[in-house]
Each structure stands twice: as structure tokens, then as C-alpha cells.
Amino acid sequence: MSAPNPLISEYNYGLVQEVRLARPPVNAFDVNLVQQLTERLRLLPLEGKRAVVLSGPEGLFSGGFDIKALRTLDREGVKRYVRAYLELQYIIAVSPIPIIAAVTGHCAAGGTALALFCDYRIMARGDFRIGMNEVQFGLCVGKIIHAALRRLVGARHADQLLTSAAMVSAEQAQAAGLVDAVADLDRVVLEAREYAAALTRLPPQAFKGTRQIVRADLVKLFDGSARQDATEEMVEAMLTEESQAALRAFVAKRS
């Protein structure tokens, strides 16, 4: 295990590096976690790693955005947060090495959105739920996340999952295409590591070229002004009266 980072933990498995979210209680994404994760995913290929497993502790992957932190931000703060989060999505999408999501339990909203940009998703079976439930909090996911979700599950499932704010079981997620495989809780990370290691054993040039082809549509989502447009879209959605009321209600309920 490498020197601990305050918000993530890292485990070295030769050519594969596990990066584990470590921000209790629910691994909610504040700007610090977003920036630390972005920086590590950016640097690991330069450190000689050939694959990454992105995980959480047993029973939980991520609760999504840090709603309490978002409630304290003014417009410029919200804009900085959204820019940072979209940069993290971009870094995962364009990563020169595969990133495997080990969804180790509950995974909501922003946590699920990150998994969309990974190469492969393995989720724990059991009483866990995954979904894009932003509408529940008065938020709109924006065009980039919508397109990434449709890429995985198709138009029908994407539209249903987004508009209903549904949180589904691992088996339902696999049937829809939201996750690729399901494993027992104590094997999720292990199977993600094994899958990642198997990719590193493929002929590297052929793998790299093929991976660029199959992920070109995902990378293209960020072309041109797409990130700037998505930033403005998400910021405006977060600052509507309806959204702010829903976020206040959520924070009050949790308090």
C-alpha cells in the first residue's frame, strides 16, 4: 500500500493499481476528492501502470455529489465544482490505460456517472442499489452524462433510468447493461483486479489501437465546446429555485 492520501487509498498490484475512494461516510464527491482522484488517474499511466481498478469500501462505492458542500457554494463555486467534475469524467474517458470500476455497494448519481466512463463495471450482488437519481434532488445530468448512459444501456433504458430517478439492483443493472458483471461482495475487487490484469497481458499495441477505436465515441462527447456547454447547463440546473429547495430538503432530512 502506498503512502495514504487523505481522500483515497492506493494498492499496488504490479501493472495494476487499485485506487479506493476513502472519504467517509459515503464517499461523496466534494471538490477536493474530485481533484485528488483526477490527479492520480492522470499520473498513473506516466508511472508505468497499465490498468486501474477504481473501488470503494465494502458496501459502498459512492453516494454521488456532496450535497451539503454544494449548498455552501456561490455561483462561481458551483461553476468551479462542475468544471472539476467534468474534468474527472474527461480524464477517465481519455485515459490511455483501462479503468475498471469495482462497484463495491451502493452507488448513486455522481458515483454512477463516473462508472459510465470506465472500461468495465463489476458490481456487488446483494441489497445494494445503483442509479442516476439526480432528478430526485432537482438536478439535471446534462447532455454528456446522458449520452454516456445511452451508449451503455440504449435509449429506452437510459430515458427510463434518468427520468424516474430509479435505483436498481445489481442484477437489474446488469440486465440493462449499466454494469457488465455481478460478483459476491467479497470478490468484487478481486475480480476487477483479475479482469484488469488480463487486459495487461494482451498484445499492447493491438489492445491500445482497438481500445481507441471502441472508445472514440465516448471521447468525442467532450469535443469542441461540449464541456463548456455542459458546465453552463449543469450550473444553471443546480441554481434553480426548484433545485435549491430540493437540496435544502435533502440536507435538512439528513441533519
Return d(Cα 193, Cα 212) in angstroms, integer: 21
> How large is the average pLDDT for residues 241-246?
84
Question: Which residue shows C-alpha cell 482497438?
Answer: 210
Please say whether the beta carbons of 145 and 153 come within 8 A: no
Which of these ranges, 36-40, 68-72, 250-254, has the smallest mean pLDDT? 250-254
Burial 116-140 (b: 16+ CB within 10 A, else e): bbbbbbbbbeeebbbbbbbbbbbbb
CA distances from 168 to 56, 125, 174, 203 (A): 18, 11, 10, 37
Reduced to 3 states, what is the DSSP secondary structure of residue 123?
Answer: strand
How large a percentage of the chain has pLDDT more than 70?
A: 98
Return d(Cα 10, Cα 40) in angstroms, integer: 10
> How large is the average pLDDT for residues 168-183?
97
Note the pLDDT of residue 67.
Answer: 86
> How large is the average pLDDT for residues 55-83?
91
Return d(Cα 74, Cα 80) in angstroms, integer: 10
- Please write the tens of the pLDDT for every residue from 144-167: 999 999 999 999 999 999 999 999
Residue 120's nearest CA partner among 26, 10, 44, 16 is 16
Identify whether 25 is preceded by a cis peptide bond (ω within 30 of 0): yes
Structural domain spans, the chain? 8-254
The mean pLDDT of the chain is 93
In Å, how far from its chain's centre is CA 250? Answer: 21
8-254 belongs to which homologous superfamily?
A: 2-enoyl-CoA Hydratase; Chain A, domain 1 (3.90.226.10)
Return d(Cα 6, Cα 36) in angstroms, integer: 9
Return d(Cα 181, Cα 117) in angstroms, integer: 16
Note the pLDDT of residue 71.
Answer: 83
